[in-house]
Amino acid sequence: MVAVTKKSKRMEGRNMEQILVVEDDYDLNQAICYSLKKSGYGVYGVTFMEKGKQTFIENQIDLILLDVNLPDGEGFSFCQWVKKQREVPVIYLTARDMEEDALAGYESGAEDYVTKPFSIKILLRKIEVILKRTASVNRLIFADEYLYIDLDHARVTVKGQECPVTPTECRLLRQFIMNRGQLLTYDLLLERLWDSGGQFVDKHALAVNVNRLRGKIEDKDHRYISNVYGMGYQWIG
């Protein structure tokens, strides 16, 4: 395992984000870790899934770069395990470029799915954007000139006026705000919203709830929820 904790000049004066790299190609793992180190991140590089779990438990990891094909299991199951522990962004780095693989990656809860070969500069930019977004959603608040959402207090206002939302709509907003810009598949939303409710809810019921919510918080000039046809929904606000 490679552990890098020295701060670069760019990172001085603020907490350094810790990134876990789970990649079984040793040379690629080392190259990614080196680039992350140069960019000022703390880095843990491992080549096995079980070692990745141990590292995740023992350290405050802020983001995970994850291969799909690992010697001791699939990255999809590792990502699902991580999401059950706490909400940490995951980016897949994989040679599996089929559409069904990418969809499975998003359904497991990942923020992005990057196929090999990839540009390290673009990857670093993706990491920066995702970490910045994650930091902004640690407080479950969204605000612009039109819409204000405070999920900690279950309060929504539109154009300064209180907007009543149902418990289901509030749970939907929580998923969207916590995963801004991320594609949330139909199955993933159904699982997160109703898996413990003991009731059967299908895509039609989900669509009804989303459309009702959109009717409350959107108008023709302010769009926040995008329906990605055949896949799911995405918060674009």
| Domains in the chain: boundaries | 2-136, 168-235
d(CA 180, CA 215): 19
Name the CATH architecture for the domain at 2-136.
3-Layer(aba) Sandwich (3.40)
- Tell me the one-letter amino acid at 115: T
Q: Measured between alpha carbons, how far is 96 from 81 in angstroms, rounded to an integer?
A: 21
DSSP class of residue 46 equals E
Cα separation, 135 vs 87, whole angstroms: 12
pLDDT in tens, 107-155: 999 999 999 999 999 999 999 999 888 775 555 778 888 999 988 778 8
Looking at residue 196, its pLDDT comes to 46
CATH architecture of the domain 168-235 equals Orthogonal Bundle (1.10)
For the whole model, what pTM was predicted? Answer: 0.57
Per-residue pLDDT reduced to its tens digit, 57-113: 888 899 999 999 999 999 999 999 988 877 789 999 999 989 999 999 999 999 999
